[in-house]
Structure 1
Amino acid sequence: MKKTIISAIALAFVAMNGNAQDKLAQDKAAIKNLCGCHDVTFEYSETFPADTNYKPKGYKKTSGAIEYITVAEEGPRRIVLQHLLIAGGDVIKHWTEDWQYENRTLLSFDKDDQWKKTELPAANVKGQWTQKVFGVDDEPRYEGSASWVHADGRHYWESTSSAPLPRREYTTRSDYNVLVRTNHHEITSKGSIHEQDNQKVVRTDGTDKVIVGEKGLNTYNRVDDAQCEKAIAWWNEHKAFWALVRKGWDQLYQDNSTVTLQKKVNDTPLYKAMGELEKKAHDKELTGAALEKAIASTLQQFAGRKDVSMK
């Protein structure tokens, strides 16, 4: 009888482990299914104001963009996806999403260009994936942890996190300083959707005052890869440089409990400083250890203490 009970427990453990492995494989497949060449539409509209005197901004739609998404890095517990936008015939390095399995360390946005490292209990992230979102220079944006759900023929992931102002508004709005984003990513028969239910918030000393809600819908419809040939070629030529940039950021995040991102250093924005380094790498003016050192130095200047100046 005792042996029968032990055998039953062992079989249950094997089944549970097998189910966990199957779920992990499903999760990875869903994340990688976000890749490909897409015709993208971006739609946003403010919804319900917290103050009746506030008039919500109107509906905005941007369509006709082509976006290529590819796996930039992959390991047993990590999948990095790179977005490349094709606009006006040019390739623009767009945002990066770094998916990490059962990750316990989040770099959480606080407010006013500052992020703080937070540690989550292992039990809280069991079976979950953290989506770490980074900007065009792989600078921090927002991070959230949740489980991928595979049920009733649907495959989706949803999480809420604080973020800085979106690029569509950060140069035109000063009436709020935090976007609390609920991001919903779902695989569709045509590609995927990125649905958002956001709140525009004024955050002061840990207190949030909601200004207005916002609905967002980014639709990714897969098209023939031939439409992304230019982006594919560009990425093959530049991906080694951006792998070093990600490595530099990873080290900076590891070494710091808070990150304060400066918009400019010596009147130079980050994208220009990184563009100069990328050109030097492309022209072989900087290679190897010297290139890695230059990248690390630049990142430290923009994401370190405010009294640090460029050398």
Structure 2
Amino acid sequence: MKILNLILVLTGLFAVSAHAQGKFEQDRKAIKSLAGFYEVNFNYGEVSSPNPGYKFSKPYESHGNEWAEIIVDEPNRIVIQHMLAINDTTVIKHWRQDWTYEDTNIMLYTQDNAWKKGNLTATDVKGKWTQKVYQVDDSPRYQGIGAWSHVGGHDSWSSETDSPLPRRESTVRKDYNVLTRGSRITITKNGWMFEQDNKKVLRTPEGDKLLAIEKGYEEFTKIDQKTFAYAQKWWNNQQNYWADVRNVWADIIGSNDTFKVKTMANGKLLYETLFTLGDQSIKEKWTAAQNKEKVKTALQPYLAK
């Protein structure tokens, strides 16, 4: 009887382990399917406010062609770099998403372009993936944690976390300073959907004040790869430089419990400074060591004390 019980226990443990491994591979497959060549439609609109006198902002709509390329594919870490293809001669290195599995390291946005390290335990992150989103200049934007679901053949992931103002409002709105993002990613037959339930919050020492709730979605629909020929050529030349930029940022983030980033210094935006250095690096054939040293120096005026 003891032997039979032991066999049953071991069989059960094996089944649980196999299920967990199968779920993990499903998660990885879903994340990797976010990569590809897309036409993207952006739609955002405020839908409610606790303030009866609140003046709703005008709905935002936009579209573009975006290439999402897997640049790191490790068992517990998948990194996807996005590029906007404006036309046959212009490309913008866009946002980046790093997916990490059961990762206890997380940076939480506070307000006014500042972040602090969060405290997560192994229990907090068990079976979950963190999506770490970065700006065009590879500075952090927001990080959210959640579990992938694969019910009924539908792959989806969701989280809620604080972030800076969206770029579409960061230069025109001063009445709130934190966007609490409720994000949901769903894989579709022709691409994927990035839905958002966002809260626009004014954060002060007295607490948080909700201004408005916003609904949004970004629809990624697969299109022909040939639209991105110039973008692929540009990235092929630039990718080593930007790998060095990421490494410099990783050192900064890893060595500080809190930090704040200024978007403007010496009359130049942060992304302008780093993009200019990238062009110079290619032209003058800098080594990785030269790239890192010049990027470190360039970033110093943008790191607030």
Please indicate, yes or no, whether the TM-score normalized by the shorter chain is above 0.5: yes
8 Å contact kept, 2:244–2:288: no
Which residue of 2 is the match for residue 78 of structure 1? 77
CA distance in 2, matches of 1:288, 1:51: 53
Which residue of 2 is the match for residue 91 of structure 1? 91
What secondary structure, in the 3-state scheme, does the structure 1 residue paired with 2:142 have? strand
Which residue of 1 is the match for residue 131 of structure 2? 131
Q: Deviations over 1:209-257 (max 9, x none)?
A: 0001101110000011112222222221211111111111111111000
When structure 1 is superposed on structure 2, of 248-257 and 83-92 the one drifting more is 83-92
1:164 deviation in Å?
0.4
Aligned residue pairs total 304
CA distance in 2, matches of 1:178, 1:237: 36
CA distance in 2, matches of 1:238, 1:11: 51
1:97 deviation in Å?
0.3
8 Å contact kept, 2:182–2:197: yes
The one-letter code of the counterpart of 1:75 is E
Aligned-CA RMSD value: 1.3
The one-letter code of the counterpart of 1:36 is G
When structure 1 is superposed on structure 2, of 288-297 and 20-29 the one drifting more is 288-297
Asked if residue 167 in structure 1 is aligned to residue 167 in structure 2, the reply is: yes
What secondary structure, in the 3-state scheme, does the structure 1 residue paired with 2:180 have? strand
The one-letter code of the counterpart of 1:164 is P
CA distance in 1, matches of 2:253, 2:59: 37
Mark the runs of 5 or more structure 2 residues left unpaired by the alignment: none
Which residue of 1 is the match for residue 250 of structure 2? 250
CA distance in 2, matches of 1:93, 1:271: 10
Give runs of aligned pairs for residues 141-180 of structure 1, distance below 5 A: 141-180=141-180
What secondary structure, in the 3-state scheme, does the structure 2 residue paired with 1:119 have? coil
1:88 deviation in Å?
4.1
Closer/same/farther in 2, CA of residues 14 and 229 from structure 1, 3 Å limit = same
Question: Identity of aligned pairs, percent?
Answer: 37
What secondary structure, in the 3-state scheme, does the structure 2 residue paired with 1:51 have? coil
When structure 1 is superposed on structure 2, of 34-43 and 201-210 the one drifting more is 201-210
TM-score normalised over the length of structure 2: 0.96
8 Å contact kept, 1:45–1:215: yes
Mark the runs of 5 or more structure 1 residues left unpaired by the alignment: 306-311
Closer/same/farther in 2, CA of residues 272 and 160 from structure 1, 3 Å limit = same
CA distance in 2, matches of 1:24, 1:252: 30
Kindly report structure 1 stretches of 4+ aligned residues shifted beyond 3 Å. Answer: none
Which residue of 2 is the match for residue 102 of structure 1? 102
Q: Deviations over 1:34-59 (max 9, x none)?
A: 11110110001111012000121232
Which residue of 1 is the match for residue 37 of structure 2? 37
CA distance in 1, matches of 2:268, 2:220: 34
Closer/same/farther in 2, CA of residues 175 and 304 from structure 1, 3 Å limit = closer
Which residue of 2 is the match for residue 214 of structure 1? 214
8 Å contact kept, 1:249–1:299: no
Which residue of 2 is the match for residue 308 of structure 1? none
